[in-house]
């Protein structure tokens, strides 16, 4: 809450702001897109699947006819299409004030089963594209007089867990924001990481475990002091705060949003 009693969830917070979200047709990215549009932002969003983007665009147009949403099917690991999307999003929205690197994931399994390609692919789908996306967006943020970059990392970036290639790539994102904050600060560009804990997303891994193996889910819940997993909406609120002027004093930071989670997965150490 601010002195005037307004939180960043208020409609006025993003009026006129132009934000691009990489990886936003479902899961956390969808909640970020929904929150930003609800607060008055113009949003550009990409994902690999055109069907998912189309479904989200149709739903949002029905719910919020005045919403300005520009979408395109782009795989962020493909150098070229990602940078073109940044250029076209800036042209479509009339500039950029903020970007969110939300897409992420992992390839391969444990060390002896994971190939060199699994390691390099996992790097590219988290840290590698984040660097290219930020580099492509910087000229537009600079032209806007400054801006905010939010990188979705993970508590796996510093808590040991299976699939070391994933935690390693998330750690790289967290380090990246601390270095780039110094490099981009003179242009009034802030950059921060948000590290979600295990999110309860309808249809995804932990929600499936909750329905299909309630005993295992109950054991996993003991990793959280309040016995509840964090929701993607709660994570999106922190992303919106970091994109907003309310967080003008924050750059180079990594903010966990995890309800105090201990081990980063149900198979954690």
Per CB under 6 A, residues contacting ligand NAP are 23-29, 46-49, 52, 74-77, 102-105, 125, 152, 154, 196, 198-199, 201, 204
CA distance 20 to 39: 15
269 is annotated as an active-site residue: no
C-beta of 103 vs 177, nearer to ligand NAP = 103
Residues 101-139: b if buried by 16+ CB within 10 A, e if exposed: bbbbebbbeeeeebeeebbebbbbbbbbbbbbbbebbbe
Q: Least distance in Å: CB of 115 to ligand NAP?
A: 18
Q: Least distance in Å: CB of 238 to ligand NAP?
A: 12
C-beta of 93 vs 150, nearer to ligand NAP = 150
Q: Least distance in Å: CB of 167 to ligand NAP?
A: 10
Q: Least distance in Å: CB of 125 to ligand NAP?
A: 5
Catalytic residue among 85, 123, 129, 166: 166
C-beta of 182 vs 205, nearer to ligand NAP = 205
Strand 69-73: give its sheet, edge to edge.
69-73, 42-47, 18-22, 98-101, 147-152, 189-196, 254-257
CA distance 142 to 145: 5
Of 203, 262, 197, 191, which Cα lies nearest the Cα of 235? 197
C-beta of 47 vs 67, nearer to ligand NAP = 47
**Active site amino acids:** 166
């Amino acid at each position: 809450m601010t002195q005037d009693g307004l939180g960043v969830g208020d409609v006025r917070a993003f009026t006129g702001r132009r934000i691009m979200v990489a990886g936003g047709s479902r899961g956390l990215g969808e909640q970020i897109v929904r929150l930003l549009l609800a607060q008055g932002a113009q949003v550009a969003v990409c994902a690999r699947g055109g069907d998912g983007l189309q479904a989200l665009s149709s739903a949002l147009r029905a719910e919020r006819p005045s919403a300005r949403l520009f979408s395109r099917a782009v795989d962020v690991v493909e150098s070229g299409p990602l940078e073109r999307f940044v250029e076209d999003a800036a042209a479509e929205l009339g500039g950029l004030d903020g970007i969110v690197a939300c897409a992420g994931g992992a390839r391969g399994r444990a060390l002896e089963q994971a190939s060199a390609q699994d390691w390099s692919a996992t790097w590219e789908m988290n840290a590698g594209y984040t660097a290219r996306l930020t580099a492509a967006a910087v000229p537009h943020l600079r032209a806007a007089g400054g801006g905010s970059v939010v990188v979705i990392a993970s508590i796996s970036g510093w808590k040991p867990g299976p699939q070391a290639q994933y935690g390693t790539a998330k750690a790289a994102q967290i380090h990246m924001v601390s270095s780039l904050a110094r490099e981009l600060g003179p242009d009034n560009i802030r950059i921060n990481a948000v590290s979600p804990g295990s999110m309860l997303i309808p249809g995804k891994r932990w929600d499936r475990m909750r329905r299909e193996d309630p005993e295992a889910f109950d054991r996993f819940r003991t990793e959280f002091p309040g016995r509840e997993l964090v929701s993607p909406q709660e994570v999106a609120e922190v992303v919106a705060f970091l994109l907003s002027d309310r967080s003008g004093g924050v750059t180079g930071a990594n903010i966990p949003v995890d309800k105090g989670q201990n081990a980063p997965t149900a198979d954690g150490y």
